[in-house]
Amino acid sequence: MQIIKKIYNKVGISSNRTKNITKHVFISFLYKGGSILSSLLMVPLTIKFLDTENYGIWLTLSSFIAWFSFFDIGLGNGLRNKFAEAKTKGDLALAKAYVSSAYFTIGSLCLVLILVFFGINYFIDWPKVFNASIKLQKQLSILMPIVFAFFCLQLVFKLITTIYTADQHHSMQGKINFYTSICSLVSIWVMIHFAESSLLLFGTVFSFLPVIILIYLNFFAFKGVYKDYRPSFYLWKREYLHDIFGLGISFFIIQIAGIILFSTDNLIITQIYGPEKVVPFNIAFKYLSISNMVVSIILTPYWSSITEAYINEDYDWIKKSMSNLIKISLVAILFICIMVAVSPFAYKLWIGNKVVIPMSLTFFMGIYFALTIFYGPYTYFINGTGKVRLQMYSIVITAVLNIPLSIFLAKNVGLGVSGVILATILCLIPHVILCPLQYSKIINKRAHGIWNK
């Protein structure tokens, strides 16, 4: 703590809100660094345990299951803002009611979804869905309901990280990711040495680990620091759900569109070129995503802090914070340029000659992350204020365009896998323009109509 205090004095940080953010950013960097290192080590180990085809299937399968995250119907993000508002106003009973309504609503939805998925699983030809060998039919028919069930449990139990974040304990998500990454790394090492290659075993273990960690965190939190907010079925009321869902429905639509925009690439590549081509795409993605991970560590705490500052009309703090975040984003974009330039050496050091990644793919992936990082601070500001209607319309339109544009550029124009990420880049351009413009209007109190909704 003395080190952190010295840093505050050195750089002139005096605001308690900024001090809290800085502390959690510093802690998150430590955990995120471990997570990134573990994630990078996981790639060659996973390819060794499975093979390129099965690893590609797992990556596609994971993206496919991630689509179902929209079944939280935006309640996670709605809870984040409403819990922060209730605590800022000192209404602890209302905060507990919001927590209870979110937990029991998502829990009920997930129970129904699990039962439905188990029912229809028998009738789905999974090898055809993932363009995989027919010999994997049995493994996939067993694995899919297991992965889906654990994913649904994650939707429920990860709400605790939303509560921590809304309460401005911003480093908790980084801790969870770190522990999950370390457990995953140990698990793959054990499987390589003591088990035969199996997509079923791999998928079951890696679906199970994050759920166990989240269950422990829920138990620890609601027995300790958040015992006053422990979910109670008797506090579930329609008006509380309506409050969360009123804001959450916009986040829900943004979430669905975001999944379509950002998570369909693996399935498109699998269907056009086969699961093997998903691997170089994801290796390039993981490599360049390091820059985005670092910036996200810094940005994440600002969502709930901006909510608090906006309610208290502390616009000077918001302006100063946004100025700093924009400078950090520009430095990160410069770092991306360096990463692209040295990528051939980095890939060789990381995975050797196991997978070939075209330079064109790395170049377009670099542009994608540069754009994402550029408009990131503005998105966090907009989400923190809850003025997300324009963002919702924009991302829905671009999500609808993304899939046909990806197929056209990859298949018809002949750009291959690079065409898929180029399509996503083109779809991001409206956000790069609209998000900074909306921030300027809101912070200068000139936002009217859709700009202020």
User: How do the domains of the chain map onto residue ranges?
Assistant: 17-452
**Is-contact 98 83, C-beta < 8 A?**
yes
Q: Give residue 329's pLDDT.
A: 92
Token pair, residue 252, equals 């829900």
Residue 102 to residue 109: CA distance in whole angstroms:
11
d(CA 390, CA 453): 7
The 10 Å Cβ neighbour count of residue 196 is: 7
Q: Which of 423, 136, 420, 402 is nearest to 266 (CA)?
A: 420
Measured CA to CA in angstroms, residue 253 lies from 4, 243, 247, 397 at distances of: 40, 16, 11, 11
Report the pLDDT value the prediction gives residue 6, as an integer from 0 to 100.
46
CA pseudo-torsion sign 86, 91, 95, 98: negative
Strand segments (E) across 221-322: none
Residue 190, Cβ density class (10 Å: 0-12 exposed, 13-18 middle, ≥19 buried) = exposed
> What distance in Å separates the CA atoms of residue 417 and residue 415, rounded to the nearest whole number?
7
Amino acid present at 241: L
Q: At what angle do helices 417-443 and 238-263 cross, to 10 degrees?
A: 140
- The amino acid present at 389, given as its one-letter code, is R
Q: Cα Rg for the chain, rounded, in angstroms? A: 22
Give me the amino acid identity at 352. G
Residue with tokens 């809850």: 386
CB-based contacts of 280, cutoff 8 Å, min separation 6: 355, 356, 357, 358, 361, 417
Residue 223 CB: number of other CB atoms within 10 A?
10
Please give the pLDDT value at position 54.
Answer: 82
Q: For residues 418 and 420, what is the distance between their CA atoms, to the nearest angstrom?
A: 5
For CA atoms 369, 259, 263, 98, give the dihedral sign.
Answer: positive
Amino acid at 69: S
Please state the separation of Cα 412 from the chain's center in Å. 31
Amino acid at residue number 117: F
297 near 28, Cβ under 8 Å?
yes
CB 425 within 8 A of CB 364: yes
C-alpha dihedral, 181 to 187 to 191 to 197, nearest 10° = -40
Q: Which residue ranges in the chain fall short of pLDDT 70?
A: 1-25, 28-29, 64-75, 77, 170, 238-252, 255, 259, 261-263
